[in-house]
């Protein structure tokens, strides 16, 4: 008798009736002469017989749950009671808003423009006081002060020199006047001018 | 309602607003789905809750359901997914509820007073061992085995239900059978059948 090469999988498919019809017939013929395959098939049939007994008894002797349908519909109703609330609060309001937009296009457009302007005002604050000129103003004031200071120094210096040359006034008065000018002109070129004149006055003393 | 009406026609009737069509579908499948889930989770209350969940999900989704596969396949797919989720979330071994076994024992004794109670206890013990062997299978092996053997689904429909190739389903089935053969060999050798 030739050695059988048919796999166990073939036997399992046969037991489950999953072999193709042509293969099923061939295998039936083969089983008549192959002890190895007969043993495999019988073994798997016994396995199924055991499991069928255990599982069959287990499932069929237990009663079905009661009121399954009632409980299902109660749950469905409970969910529906929640869903409409959500729909009315959101989807219904949204659809109502859309229909309103369609009916009152001009009013909605105006409202939209006003809203955009309002948002722009809120975000940018166009009337906000922006002291952009302050810095320049401060600078120009500072420059003006310096300008006035130089003019005053210059005036005082001219007075001092006029006294020196024209009036021929008291020299100590001129020294005093030039010292005031020198102090006043501290940090400027006028201070050097005053210093030079003071030196010349001191040389005359 | 006519029992010969196809499930898919009932679905269309339900989609058109017939509540009775869903009642009929539920009547056809509640026992099957409950049995399938009971074998899967091994606990009466959990199987009951899951069965309710299956039909609740089906009820909600049925209005937009399109018959790409058979209605029963779709229903078993929902049940199978819920069963997998259940095992994942609980992360526990199947639990045998003593209460169920006691109920079963009482029923068997009450049904046949002339039978041998000791034999029945032995049968129950054997049944427990066999179910434990079935629970030793991997989740996929068990799903495939249960759907094929107890729900009567052909390999093609099992493949659709579990989202696998037919070849993969067959491989799981072969492995399941070989494992059961190994686990149940002591019972078979002791001539307990």
Structure confidence by residue, pLDDT tens digits, B122-138:
777 888 888 889 989 99
> Long-range contacts for B80-84 (Cβ within 8 Å, ≥24 apart)?
B80/B143, B80/B147, B80/B161, B80/B162, B82/B37, B82/B50, B82/B53, B82/B54, B82/B57, B83/B36, B83/B37, B83/B40, B83/B41, B83/B50, B83/B143, B84/B139, B84/B143
Percent of all residues in chain B with a pLDDT value above 90, rounded to a whole number: 37
Q: Find out if CATH 1.10.1740.10 is the number for domain B1-95.
A: yes
Cβ <8 Å between B154 and A18: yes
Query: Where residue B145 falls among pLDDT bands split at 50, 70, 90?
Result: very high
B84 to chain A, any CB pair closer than 8 A? The answer is no
Read off the DSSP letter of residue A19.
S
Q: Which of residues 138-167 of B touch A (CB under 8 A)?
A: 148-150, 154-155
Parse chain A into domains and list their residue ranges.
Answer: 8-60, 69-124, 134-204
State the Cα torsion B131-B134-B139-B143 to the nearest 10°. Answer: -90
Contact B166, B148 (CB under 8 A): no
CA A108 – CA A102 distance, rounded (Å): 9
Predicted pLDDT at A203: 77
Report the residue of chain A nearest B175, measured CA to CA.
Answer: A9
Instruction: Please give the residue that has the higher pLDDT: either A59 or A159.
Output: A159
Nearest to B52 among A51, A59, A72 (CB): A72
Please tell me the predicted confidence (pLDDT) of residue B79.
Answer: 94
CB-CB contact of B152 with B73 (8 Å): no
Give A120's pLDDT tier (boundaries 50, 70, 90): confident
pTM for the whole structure: 0.59
Per-residue pLDDT tens digits for A78-113: 877 766 555 555 665 666 666 666 667 777 788 888
Nearest of B172, B14, A65, A64 to residue B161 by alpha carbon: B172
């Amino acid at each position: 008798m030739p050695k059988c090469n048919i796999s166990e999988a073939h036997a399992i498919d046969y037991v489950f009736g999953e072999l193709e019809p042509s293969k099923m017939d061939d295998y039936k013929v083969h089983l008549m002469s192959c002890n190895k395959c007969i043993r495999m098939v019988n073994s798997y049939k016994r396995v199924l017989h055991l499991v069928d007994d255990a599982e069959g008894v287990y499932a069929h002797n237990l009663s079905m749950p009661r009121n399954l349908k009632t409980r299902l519909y109660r749950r469905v109703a409970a969910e529906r009671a929640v869903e409409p609330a959500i729909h009315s609060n959101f989807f219904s309001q949204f659809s109502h808003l859309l229909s309103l937009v369609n009916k009152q296009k001009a009013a909605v457009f105006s409202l939209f423009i006003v809203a955009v302007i309002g948002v722009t005002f809120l975000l940018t604050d166009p009337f906000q006081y922006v002291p952009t000129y302050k810095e320049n103003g401060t600078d120009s004031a500072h420059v003006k002060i310096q300008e006035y200071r130089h003019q005053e120094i210059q005036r005082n210096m001219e007075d001092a020199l006029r006294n020196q040359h024209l009036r021929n006034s008291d020299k100590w008065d001129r020294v005093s006047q030039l010292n005031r000018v020198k102090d006043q002109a501290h940090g400027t070129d006028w201070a050097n001018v005053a210093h030079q004149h003071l030196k010349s006055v001191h040389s005359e003393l | 309602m006519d029992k010969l009406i196809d499930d898919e026609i009932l679905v269309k009737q339900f989609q058109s607003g017939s509540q009775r069509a869903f009642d009929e579908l539920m009547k056809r499948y509640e026992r099957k789905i409950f049995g399938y889930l009971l074998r899967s989770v091994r606990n009466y209350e959990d199987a009951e809750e899951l069965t309710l969940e299956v039909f609740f999900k089906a009820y909600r989704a049925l209005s937009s359901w399109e018959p790409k596969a058979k209605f029963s396949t779709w229903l078993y797919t929902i049940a199978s997914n819920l069963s997998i989720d259940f095992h994942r979330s609980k992360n526990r071994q199947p639990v045998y509820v003593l209460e169920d076994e006691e109920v079963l024992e009482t029923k068997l004794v009450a049904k046949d007073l002339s039978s041998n109670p000791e034999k029945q206890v032995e049968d129950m013990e054997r049944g427990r061992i066999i179910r434990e062997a079935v629970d030793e299978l991997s989740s996929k092996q068990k799903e495939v085995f249960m759907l094929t053997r107890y729900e009567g689904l052909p390999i093609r429909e099992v493949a659709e239900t579990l989202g696998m190739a037919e070849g993969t389903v067959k491989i799981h089935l072969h492995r399941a059978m070989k494992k059961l053969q190994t686990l149940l060999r002591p019972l078979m050798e002791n001539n307990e059948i």
